[in-house]
Structure 1
Amino acid sequence: MNNSIPVVSKIFCSSTPTMLMIRRRPIVVNGGGFVVTDLNHNVIFVIDGCGILGSKRELMVKDGEGEPILFVSRKVGIVQALSTRNKWNGYSMDYQGKDKLVFSLTDPKSCIATSTPMRIHIEPMRHCTNWDYEIGGSFADRDCRIIDCTGKTVAQMGKKDLIGGKDFYHVEVQAGYDQAFIIGVMAILDNINGESTRC
């Protein structure tokens, strides 16, 4: 597919827009994450959070077969402690378990920086100079989107009011964009907002 924009891998890019359904796992049953299915209820991704991994700052995105494909962790350390923003790093995992930095996301960690948008940098840097993607809207209200540096919406989140309230929502990923990357960003937003991936 010539127009694909892989971050984790081109195998997670589709030639058509794709609707992904997200359902939070109950905390008491394999808690600490959520499951992503297609419209036919086939499991596409599984996200493990603190309840399974045991660490508050780590997330794992697995494919439908249960193989780890993306490891996400929040950066810590003295420099990070003095910063006004948290930094999350996403690492792609190969079949041997080796990881490679593929993106980083920064979010404000204090009320002083809340007017600053969440931004995502792809590694290695793409055609944009300061950032590649930006997150707009409200994850808590299930109404947020990911846009690229040209202003194009690449993923749009929505809620399913009739089924499960906040436990069930969807994300539409536009053609050519990496679905594993988008779900990794959703996992970070879930954690930032204190939802299913948090302890």
Structure 2
Amino acid sequence: MPAQITAQEVKELRNKTGAGMMDCKKALQASQGNMDMAIENLRKKGLATADKKSSRITTEGIIDSYIHAGSRIGVLVELNCETDFVARHSEFQQLAKDIAMQITACQAVAYVSSDDIPQSIIDMETSIEIEKEDLFNKPQEVKDKIVSGRLEKRLKEISLMNQPFIKNQELSIEDLVKQKISLLGENIKIRRFQRFILGESMKKNT
């Protein structure tokens, strides 16, 4: 029978290793709640210590692209790291390609992380949720709670780091990047991206 793991235990393991929440929970369940064993398992998988590198400056990296079949959608992405040595590493270059492919697949994504979303967009999305008809007759406290939940969900939908990785739905893009940070030993940042859709914003001939 799987061990019952508390949210506090998951948080403690995350603080100690920097691994993702789901990875921490799985590691604790696999180790029957043994914290030291869970840490060891995460280190073996290369998921630990990523957060400790997150403040390091990233001035190297690559710009990569992905063109979808049919050549109607394309993406450019800039992925940064600390050294040219890592920028040339096959794992780093594959990460850039995977991220470009992810952006192509997730048409709603407009920002790298929720921290990048302008306050004006947050205010607009909040206003849209507040005006929805199904909230009109609800008490203000209930309405505020629903709006807050819907807003959080919406902001995650437009944030790349919150997306489930298309090659492994149990892994978020944030956790995927952390895996590569632990594997390659350097901080890695998705700096920016641009999506191109053939004929976008152009008027078609009638």
Structure with more of its chain in helix, by fraction: 2
- Taking structure 2 as the reference length, what is the TM-score of the superposition? 0.28
In our comparison, the structure showing a higher alpha carbon Rg is: 2
**What is the TM-score with the length of structure 1 in the denominator?**
0.29
Higher strand share: 1
